[in-house]
């Protein structure tokens, strides 16, 4: 693609300094690439922010690294993958995300490595986002809960590395031969549901309602989760996040400047 951003060597990333009160997430940008391991990952908070952004006219692409085929015990992976891809497309539509793409990495056994970094860097070079969004890759989620999923813990560092890779024309050079250009335009990466949140996105009732609808779209998946109350989870989380941010409703992100 002609007219790519000039190459610049990026040798460090800065984690935005944590303090007790999260700061507003900057919104002076146009394009976001939301990258998560599984269908449903974005819908535990981040999708409400996606609705706010699409309502502002921003361009949102959702990229699923797996098809979620290992997510439902009673369904074999072939049937499960097509079901969960359909649920994700409905979920994205509920928050106005026009594009949903799927990579084909294995659900449940995602590995950090060059194949994953290459695929993510390729997606960043193809979509040329200003911002990337994902979910928590720390060992625990905000508020505790069980040990974070292995795929989530793998994806976060790989995504941060891929942001750097995408900017470097000498990394994954075969993609440039194929016609892509380096992309160094990613300003920051924001990870939802992190225990180390640094920033917030304020939500209004429409954003929250759309976020709840996007979670509800994972109908069969949620029906197979024991003891999860999807009707109250997102509102309670948005109220708690709002109390920390000093607004009625919010969702929180851990931000890395890139």
Our CB check for Zn ion shows the closer of 41 and 62 to be 41
112 contacts: CB under 8 Å, gap ≥ 6 = 154, 157, 158
Q: SS3 of 222, please?
A: helix
Residue 118 and residue 172 in contact, taking contact as beta carbons nearer than 8 Å = yes
Residue nearest to Zn ion (CB): 38
Write down the least CB distance from residue 147 to Zn ion, Å.
Answer: 13
Q: Whose Cβ is closer to Zn ion: residue 44's or residue 256's?
A: 44
| CA pair distance 192, 46, nearest whole angstrom | 6
Provide the minimum distance between the beta carbon of 105 and Zn ion in the complex, in angstroms, as a whole number.
12
Binding mask 18-47 for Zn ion (x = CB under 5 A): -------------------xx--x------
Helix axes of 77-94 and 205-216: crossing angle, nearest 10 degrees: 160
Interaction of residue 51 with Zn ion, rule CB under 5 A:
no
Nearer to Zn ion, 65 or 186 (CB): 65
User: Which run of H or of E encompasses 125?
Assistant: helix 114-127
Positions that interact with Zn ion (CB under 5 A): 37-38, 41
């Amino acid at each position: 693609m002609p007219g790519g951003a000039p190459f610049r060597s990026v040798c460090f990333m800065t984690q935005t300094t944590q303090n007790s009160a999260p700061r507003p997430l900057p919104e002076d940008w146009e394009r976001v690439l939301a990258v998560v391991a599984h269908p449903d990952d974005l819908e535990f908070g981040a999708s409400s922010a996606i609705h706010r952004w699409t309502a502002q006219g921003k361009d949102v692409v959702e990229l699923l690294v797996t098809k979620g085929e290992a997510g439902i015990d009673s369904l074999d992976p072939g049937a499960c993958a097509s079901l969960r891809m359909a649920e994700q497309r409905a979920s994205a539509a509920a928050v106005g995300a026009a594009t949903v793409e799927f990579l084909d990495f294995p659900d449940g056994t995602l590995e950090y490595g060059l194949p994953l970094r290459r695929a993510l860097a390729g997606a960043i070079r193809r979509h040329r986002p200003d911002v990337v969004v994902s979910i928590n890759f720390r060992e625990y989620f905000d508020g505790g809960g069980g040990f974070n999923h292995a795929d989530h813990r793998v994806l976060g560092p790989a995504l941060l590395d891929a942001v750097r890779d995408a900017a470097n024309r000498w990394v994954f050079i075969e993609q440039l031969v194929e016609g892509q250009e380096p992309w160094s335009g990613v300003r920051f990466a924001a990870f939802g549901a992190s225990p180390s949140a640094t920033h917030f996105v304020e939500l209004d009732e429409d954003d929250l309602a759309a976020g709840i609808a996007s979670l509800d779209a994972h109908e069969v998946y949620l029906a197979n989760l024991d003891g999860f109350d999807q009707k109250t989870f997102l509102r309670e989380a948005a109220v708690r996040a709002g109390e920390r941010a000093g607004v009625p409703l919010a969702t929180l992100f851990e931000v890395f400047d890139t």
